[in-house]
Structure formats: structure tokens, C-alpha cells
Amino acid sequence: MNSVALLSAAKDGILTGSVYALMATGLTLVFGVMDIINIAQGILVILGAYLSYALQLHWHIDLFVGLLITTPTMFIVGVVIERAFIGRLKGPEKTAMSILVTYAVSLLIEGGLNMIFSVNDVQLQASYVSKSFAIGQVHFGFIYVAGFILAAVLLGALYVMLYRTRFGMSVRASLADQASAALVGIDVRRVSTITFGIGVAVTAAGGMIYGATNSFNASSSYDLISRLLTIIVLGGMGSLGGAMVAGIAMVFIGDVVGVVWSPVWSTMAYFVVLILVLLWRPQGLFGRASARVA
Amino acid sequence: MKHGNRRYLRVLSATSLAGASLVTMVGASGASARSHASSPVKIGISLSLSGDFSADGQAFQQGYKLWAADINRAGGLLGHKVVLDIKSDASSPTQVVTNYQALISNDHVALTFGPFSSLLSLPAAKAVSRYGYALVEGAGGAPSVFQAGLHNVFDVSLPVADDLMPFAKWVTSLPAAKRPKTVAFVTSNDPFTEPQVTTIEPLLRKAHIKTVYNHVFPAEVTDYTSIADAVAASKPQAVVLGSVDVPTVSAFMQAFEQSGFSPKVFIATGGPDQGSTFIKSVGLKNANGMMVPNAWYGGSANPLSRVMVAQYVKKYGGTASQVSSDVAEAYSVGEVVAQAVKATGGFNNQKIIKYLHSGVTLQSVQGPVRFNGLGENTVPTAFTFQWQGAKFVQVNPVNDRNSVRVLYPKPAWGK
């Protein structure tokens, strides 16, 4: 076995996995607080990528600078989706219905993106996208390292927001028990709207990194959402830490197995791990057994 | 098994057979009966307008629509205006079956044209065969399509297993000092890519080109970085990538560049032939030297192709180099079916199938078409194309008068 290839695979797993972790964080946060499974998260990541693409194409705005525009824009998109569709879901079938509603939202956005940008694949371009530096014989792509740092900063910011702010306390209270949170005066509806907005806002950064490292079109969202869902299932639905660990684990396992064994087994290896974990802990690595009892 | 059960099964089998035959007869004869004089003739097509193959599906749609516009301008099929009935299959092998069933049973189309990719052409051909319809397609050339024993499927393009042969012949014909010493084979587990790659591996080995990496990756993989890094770490001088689309090639190219690895030869089975879509993804400078096998390109000297390319550029803009080969493959389907309809004097699918199996040579923008008993086109020539600057040019076979000199070794990335 080539040791350089193995080290490169481990490096790729950690760097790429962190970006998936960031994208999955929005999904797990929304589920944790709202009992909503946001199937549209994949297309929202792609929408974030297309926003960066449009800013770059028409106004020549750098990808990272563009995040100052795309992140608040995606937050507003999230708030609008929550107010228009998600917030209207009530009752015991809310979680199941959320899958259908967010899938419909996903189809609407996909159709819109296809009309505006066509189905031809595009990729975000910048001088640093294909540049790299080497430590020993292992090369680190700038964009992947930047993606890792960005994911770490945003996940850190989310952590601080959740555990060091009054709003975060409201989110955690809603996450633990919505009815009790409402009884102590927390505006659960408002918390839900803002949480959904935050969950969608992280797709701006995730989408930008994804779009700079992959050619994409609106249909790329299907591959993304299937991966994001498996991440939050492994990590434990509603667990931020779980999403981070599982995001990195998913890519790391696949990449290392691809080098040690064969790429043909890389996807299956992750699912074997997922099944074993679920047999051992049906609630996922960091999920709570009865986390979302209404 | 009990005797009663056997009898029941025999009756059931006989009923099923009779039912299937009836469906076939109704389907086939129904199609011919629907062609009243001067009424439009409807052609049913399932295309991947979303999903993994959406870029190719859209290009195919352009090709079909371009052909329909051209044939209608020329008076239609036997005087009937052509109307295309296109349904999206979202790149799904199950949806494609549903679509063709609906096109035949509900929409009562007279003819069916194929979808994009071997992955969808096989289930599509099986579905339409139950109704006795012919499926003429332009992007289902994998051996698995023809090995299914179907009598109704016809691929107007080059059978994919031979696609890389001119490339292999060129590489092995290089003087030993110039020839790559090592090669990496890396392919998606797709019926379009794997046969191409496995066919040339022994030829290169025989020419003492050592295989340093040879792996298949699952088609559903979306992150290729670690695979590309593993290829780069094995330091091959030549890379043969079995890819079906632009994102795969683009990801490998980017990962190679980040690894500081630039092979002397890099050929991908699909992606670089996608014209402007490929260039937009990888950039013109990085495209320089990239190779791809195919049977057609925008600069083809075929007079039919020149007319089609001119029509395409007039309608959609761009240059000849930017026309996707998918457009020509789809357009060829229309041309072949039009000739069969004219020769048989109607839209009877059984007559069309018989005619296409007769060994007749037909003409298309991709060149001559003649089918063997399996429905493979036996007469096309495989070529290798290469991006050289802003131009997409033919480089193999070397002795073909339209081939230009191969840009070898491939320039470093961005040069």
C-alpha cells in the first residue's frame, strides 16, 4: 500500500468531511428544534453555490467575500420558507408531512435553478481553487483547507451561539421540550423561524465550498441530500456534535477504505459502519433515545 | 408440485402468452393504423431532463428537436408533421420504463426514440419490446444492451467497447523511448465506461506499459478527491479515466492539479466531448491536451454533419467545437428512423424492425449506419479527439486524413 496515498486519503476525509459536517449541521439543528426533516437542504446548498456563482459571474465578487452577501440572503430564504410552508405544519403528522413539504420546496427551487442557469454543469472559479501547498509528499488544496477552517469557525460560532447566548438557551430549551419552553415564556415559533433561517444560512458557506470543489447543477442536490441524511442519522438526529463527527467519519471511512481496499467498497464501508452503529445505538452516536417526544 | 397446480400454471402461461401477443399485435398494428394522411405523427421519447444525466439529456433534446424542425421543414415524415412527445425520466431506470409504457399506452405514439445512456436504454428497450415497438437510440452502445437478446433495439452510434481502440493503437505505436512507461486505469462501474477500459488494458500491457493503478469506483460516488489522489500517488505517465460526465473528469483534473501531478496523456471516456459545458467547468487552459474517444465531433467533414452543425449554431449559438456529441447522436436517430419509415412506406414498427435488420446501409450525421443481428452499428469508425487550445480536433486514427498531430505530451495544467 502506498503510504502517501493513505495519508492523502486521511487528509481528504477530514478536510472534505468537515464541509459535509457544516452542511449537515443545519439539517440536524432544524430537526432538533422543530421536528422537521428538511429534504430541501441539498438544493439549498446548491442554491448557495449558484448565488456565489452569480456574484462572481456578474459582479466579479470573490467567493469568500461573497459569503457576506450570500449568508444573510440564505438566512432570509430560510425564514421565508419557514413562514410560508414549514410553520403551517401542525399536529402529530408534522414530521412526516415536513418530508413531503420540503421535497416540494426542493422541486420548486430545482425547477427555478434549471430555468435560470440551465442544467449544464458549472464550477466556481478562482485563482486559489486549484492551488495547493505540500507538507512532505502530501498536498493540501487551499480551497479544502479554507473550507475546513470556514467549517470550524462557523461550527464554533454556532456552538457559542447555542451555549453562550440567551437565544441559544431558548433554542436548547425548545430542543429539549417545546411545550415546557413555551410555558416559561419562550416564543417557540420565533425561535423555530430563526433556527430554520440559521440552518439554511450555513448552506451558503457549504454551497460555496462544494461549488468550488465540484462541478454542479441543480440535480447535484439529490446526491447531497442522501449523504446529509445519513450523516445526521449516524451522528444522532438533533445532535450538532454528532453531525460534526459523522460528517468527517463518512468521508474519512470511504476515502481510507478506497485506498486500503478498493474504491468500489468505499460507499458500502460507510453504510456497514452506519448499520453496526444503529444496531448498537438506534438513536445514533450522540442522539438521545427519546429526544423528540412531543 | 401438484398436478392441479401444474395445469393451473400451464393455463396461466398460455393466457399470459396470448395476452402478450395481443398486446404486441395491438401495439404494432395500432401504430400503423394511427398514421392517417396529413395527421401529425407522434414520436415518444424519455429523456433525462433532471438528475445525474440532465446535461446530456438536455443536449439530446436539442438534437431531437433540431432533427424534428429540419424534417418538418422538409415536409415531415411521409407528409405527416412530426410532433415529439418528450417525458422526463429524472435519470431513473425505473421511471424510464413507466414513461415508455405511458407514451405507448396513453399517448399512443407511433414511434419511440431512445433515452440517454446505456443504463436507461436497456430497460427502455425491454419495455417497448413488449408492445412490439422498435427503439432506435443514440447513446446505448454498451455490450449489456445488445446481450439482452432483444430484437427491437438499434444503436446508431459506435459500440462503446471499441471506443478506445484508436487511442490504444496510437499509444502502443509510439517509439519505445517516447511511449508512456506506466498507466493508471480508473473507471466508474457503469456499462458505458467499464467495457472501454477493460478492452485496452491488455493491449497496453503487451506494449510493456505497466499498470500502476487499476480500480473501479461506484457510480454514486460524488467526492473523487481521494481516488484522484491515490491515482496521483501512483505517478502514472498515462491516465485512462472511465467517466460518463463532466463533473467526474473535472474533479479528477482539479485534484491532479492540486497534487502537482500532470500526466503525459490523459484520456476520459466521457466529459471532454461535452463542448462548452466542459470548458466552462475546467477552463480552456486546463482543457488543453485532454483527450476523449467518440465517433463524431463538431468539425466532422461529413456533409450531413456540416449542415446540422450550421443549423445548431444558428439556433443555439456557439462554435462547432462547442456542439456536444449528444446532439449528433440524437439527430442520427431521427435520420435513421426517417429512412426506415420512407423505405417501409409507413409507421409499422414490425416492418421497421425487419428493415433495420436487413443489412441495409443508412446515412447519418455520424456517418454510415448498418445494424447486425444484435442492433449494433457495425460500420462506424472510432476516433480520438483532443482539445488543442480553443479547438476540439480529431487526432486518431493517425492515418486518417482528417486527423491532426496529437498534442503530446499533454501540457502542464493551465498552460
| Beta strand B41-47 pairing with B82-88 | parallel
CATH of the domain at B250: 3.40.50.2300
User: Of chain A residues 132-161, which have a CB less than 8 A from chain B?
Assistant: 132, 134, 137, 139, 141, 144
Give the H/E segment covering residue B386.
strand B383-388
Q: Is the dihedral of CA B128, B129, B134, B136 positive or negative?
A: positive
Average pLDDT over residues A209-223: 90
Q: Do A223 and B222 touch (CB under 8 A)?
A: yes
Based on the fold, state whether residues B243 and B336 are members of the same structural domain: no
- Residue B18 within a domain: no
Contact A30, A87 (CB under 8 A): no
Q: Do B225 and B274 lie in a common domain?
A: yes
Question: Between residues 57 and 96 of chain B, which touch chain A (CB distance below 8 Å)?
Answer: 57-58, 91
CA separation for the pair B156, B328 (Å, rounded): 10
Q: Mutate which of A43, A138, A214 to disrupt the B interface (most B C-beta within 10 Å)?
A: A214
> Do B263 and B184 sit in the same domain of this protein?
yes
Cα distances from A219 to residues A117, A216, B289, B323, in angstroms, run 12, 8, 29, 22
In chain B, residues with a C-beta closer than 8 Å to the C-beta of A262 are: 215-216
B58·A118 Cβ contact <8 A: yes
Does residue B2 belong to the interface with chain A, where contact is any CB pair within 8 Å? no
Listed as own residue / partner, the contacts of A265-270 with beta carbons closer than 8 Å and 24 or more positions apart are: A266/B217, A266/B218, A266/B221, A266/B226, A267/B218, A267/B220, A267/B221, A268/B218, A270/A230
Instruction: Tell me the percentage of chain B whose pLDDT exceeds 70.
Output: 91
Rounded Cα gap, residues B150 and B351, in angstroms: 16
Q: By three-state DSSP, how is residue B408 classified? A: coil
Secondary-structure percent of chain B, ordered helix, strand, coil, rounded to 5 = 45, 20, 40
User: Where do the domains of chain A lie, and which CATH numbers do they carry?
Assistant: 3-280 (1.10.3470)
Q: What is the pLDDT of residue A289?
A: 61
Domain assignment present for residue B410? The answer is: no
Average pLDDT over residues B275-297: 90
Chain A residue numbers with beta carbons less than 8 Å from the beta carbon of B230 are 2, 5, 8-9, 258-259, 263
- pLDDT higher than 80, residue B272: yes
Q: Does B216 touch chain A (CB under 8 A)?
A: yes
Q: Which amino acid does the sequence have at A109?
A: I
Residue B11's pLDDT is what? 43
Instruction: With beta carbons less than 8 A apart as the criterion, state whether B259 and B229 touch.
Output: yes
Grid cell in block for residue B169: 493503437
My answer on whether B213 and B346 are in the same domain is: no
User: Does residue B375 sit within a domain?
Assistant: no
CB B27 within 8 A of CB B133: yes
What's the rounded mean pLDDT across residues B360-384?
93
Tell me which DSSP letter residue B107 carries: S
Between A217 and B154, name the one with better pLDDT. Answer: B154
A219 chain-B contacts, CB cut-off 8 A: 50-52, 54, 91
The pLDDT assigned to B28 comes to 44
What is the SS3 assignment for A157-174?
HHHHHHHHCHHHHHHHHH
* Least reliable range by pLDDT among A41-45, B134-138, B381-385: B381-385
Total domains in chain B come to 2
Q: Is the pLDDT of residue B13 over 70?
A: no
Residue B206 lies in a domain: yes
Q: Name chain A contacts of B229, Cβ cutoff 8 Å.
A: 5, 8-9, 12, 139
End-to-end CA distance of chain B: 73
- Which residues in chain B are closer than 8 Å to A16, comparing Cβ atoms? 223, 225
Nearest residue of B to residue A120 by CA position?
Answer: B55
Pairing of the two strands B265-268 and B210-217: unpaired
Shortest Cα–Cα distance, A148 to chain B (Å): 15
Nearest to B215 among A125, A217, A262 (CB): A262
Q: Do the Cβ atoms of A10 and A255 come closer than 8 Å? A: yes
Query: What is the bridge-based pairing of β-strands B383-388 and B291-294?
Result: antiparallel
Q: In which order are the strands placed within the sheet that holds B383-388?
A: B210-217, B182-188, B238-242, B265-268, B291-294, B383-388, B391-396
Say whether pLDDT at B42 is over 80. Answer: yes
Nearest CB to A267 within list B218, B225, B233:
B218
Query: Best interface-test mutation with A: which of B229, B235, B278 has the largest number of A CBs within 10 A?
Result: B229
Taking 80 as the threshold, does the pLDDT of residue B4 lie above it? no
Instruction: Evaluate the CA torsion angle A32, A38, A42, A47 in order and state its sign.
Output: negative
Residues B167 and B280 in one domain: yes
Confidence of residue A82 (pLDDT cuts 50, 70, 90): very high
Same structural domain, B211 and B330: no
Q: Which of B96, B52, B304 is nearest to A217 (CA)?
A: B52
**Is there a contact between A254 and A264 (Cβ–Cβ < 8 Å)?**
no
pLDDT above 90 covers a percentage of chain B that reads 68
- In chain B, what residues touch A214 (CB-CB under 8 Å)? 222-223, 247, 250-251
**Angle B104-B106-B110 (CA atoms, 0-180°, nearest 5)?**
35
When pLDDT is averaged across residues B366-381 and rounded to a whole number, the result is 92
B117-132: average pLDDT: 94
Spatial distance between the Cα atoms of B61 and B88, rounded to a whole number of angstroms: 10
pLDDT over 50 (residue B17): no
pLDDT of residue B6: 44
Q: What would you report as the CA-atom Rg of chain B, rounded to the nearest whole angstrom?
A: 22
Task: Tell me if B224 is assigned to some domain.
Answer: yes
CB contact under 8 A, B281 and A223: no
Residue B19 above 50 pLDDT?
no
E strand or H helix at B72: helix B54-73
On whether both B168 and B286 belong to a single domain, the answer is yes
- Summarize the confidence of residues B23-27 as an average pLDDT: 41
Give mean pLDDT, residues B53-80.
94
| Subunit contact A251:B414, Cβ cutoff 8 A | no
- Pick from A163-167, B154-158, B185-189: least confident: A163-167
Alpha carbon distance A130, B250 (integer Å): 11
Tell how far CA A62 is from the center of its chain. Answer: 22
Task: Identify the DSSP state of B397.
Answer: S
Q: Does A23 touch chain B (CB under 8 A)?
A: no
Structural domain of B102? 24-159+308-369
In a domain? residue B355: yes
Residues B239 and B291 in one domain: yes
Domain assignment present for B4: no
- Top pLDDT among B319 and B46 is at B46
* A272 vs B: CB within 8 A: no
In a domain, B1, yes or no: no
**Greatest mean pLDDT among A131-140, B109-118, B158-167:** B109-118
Give this prediction's pTM. 0.80
| Mean pLDDT, residues B226-242 taken together | 94
Of residues A122, A222, A263, nearest to B217 (C-beta): A263
Query: From the list A4, A223, A264, which residue is nearest B217 (CB)?
Result: A264
Does one domain contain both B73 and B132?
Answer: yes
Q: What is the pLDDT of residue B298?
A: 87
What's the grid cell of residue B237? 505517465
Q: Which residue has the cell 471532454?
A: B272
Report residue B37's pLDDT band, with 50, 70 and 90 as the boundaries: low
Q: Which residues contact B92 (CB under 8 A, 6 or more apart)?
A: B51, B120
Identify the band that residue B36 occupies on the pLDDT scale cut at 50, 70 and 90.
low
- Does pLDDT of A282 surpass 80? yes
- The reply to whether B273 and B330 lie within a common domain is no
A122, A220, A263 ranked by CB distance to B227: nearest: A263
State chain A's mean pLDDT as an integer.
89
Average the pLDDT over B342-354 and give the result. Answer: 96
pLDDT at B346 over 50: yes
pLDDT above 60 for A241: yes
**Interacting residues of A280 by C-beta distance below 8 A, sequence separation 6+:** none
Q: Are residues B113 and B191 in the same domain?
A: no
Shared domain check, B133 and B250: no
Tell me how far apart the alpha carbons of residues A234 and A145 are, in angstroms, rounded to a whole number: 25
